[in-house]
Amino acid sequence: MLDVIREWLERRRAGQAIDWQHAPTPKLADDRPLSNARLVVLDLETTGLNAGRDEVIAIGAVAIQGEQIHLDDQFDLVLRRPELDIRETVLIHGIGPEALTHGHETEDALLRLLDWMNGDPILAYHAAFDKKFLEKTLKQQLGYTRSHTWLDVAELLPAFFPDASPGGHGLDHWADHFGLDISARHNAAADALVTAELTLAALNKAHKTGVNTLKALHDKLRYQRQLKNMKRM
């Protein structure tokens, strides 16, 4: 796949459009058993919360497969974006001008991310946020517009632990509820890892309740979303 990435980069730097037919095809939420599926748990650090004007500056991700977190299957990069103004958020994510100056070239990093993800379903905590930012960045930087399967861990946890009282709706609240330690909050790789640990807890509960495939998991979350919307009416 490295040869394909080099070809993508050469075409991009020559001002040519990338032929995405050789890119990994995004996988659907199908009948594959959850026990066999590779799932990508992802977290982004950004310059702010507005996807219209703010930008991605770091990507952290880890893979789950065979109901295990594979620490040898991770993605952790700070992007080289020295032109960005991070004065308002540097105290949150700790990524300063020097890190952005010496980070990985954005296009190279995104191409490697697409290769590493291999089209597998993506999970994130409050996934709509990460999805919006990642899709915008991929489109702007690479012209990549394929849709991937996303699942929201913030929906996954209450769906399988409806009686839990974590004291709030944030990642920290659920981590405290399960007694998990977040080594470095607002660090993309660390947040991705704790999100993966929470995902494993939910998947274990899903298995016990007969939710054993990606499609069943996707349908469960859609049903829970519908119930939530009905209660608001």
CATH number at residue 198: 3.30.420.10
Residue 18, domain member (yes or no): no
pLDDT of residue 87: 73
β-bridge partners, 123: 41, 151
Band (185; pLDDT cuts 50, 70, 90): low
pLDDT of residue 80: 93
pLDDT of residue 17: 79
Residue range 59-64: mean pLDDT, rounded: 98
Helix (H, G, I), strand (E, B) or coil at 61: strand
Band (129; pLDDT cuts 50, 70, 90): very high
Give the chain's radius of gyration (CA, Å): 18
Question: Which amino acid type is present at position 55?
Answer: E
What percent of the chain stands above pLDDT 70? 95
> What total of structural domains would you count in the chain?
1
Element (H, E) at 155: helix 153-160
pLDDT of residue 98: 85
Residue range 15-28: mean pLDDT, rounded: 86
Residue range 2-21: mean pLDDT, rounded: 78
The whole-chain average pLDDT of the chain stands at 90
Q: Read off the pTM.
A: 0.92
Residue 176, domain member (yes or no): yes
Q: Is 6 or 202 the better-scoring residue by pLDDT?
A: 202
Domain assignment of residue 166, given as a range:
2-6+24-232
Please tell me which of 29-43, 96-110, 183-197 the model is most confident about, judged by mean pLDDT.
29-43
Whether the CB-CB separation of 143 and 209 falls below 8 Å is answered with no
Band (2; pLDDT cuts 50, 70, 90): low
Name every residue whose Cβ is closer than 8 Å to that of residue 138 and which is 6 or more positions away in sequence. 110, 114, 144, 145
Whether the CB-CB separation of 212 and 27 falls below 8 Å is answered with no
Residue 16, domain member (yes or no): no
Nearest to 201 by CA among 123, 117, 128: 123
Helix (H, G, I), strand (E, B) or coil at 44: strand
What percent of the chain stands above pLDDT 90? 67
**Per the structure block, which two tokens stand in for 138?**
């991929």
Per-residue pLDDT for 130 more than 70? Answer: yes
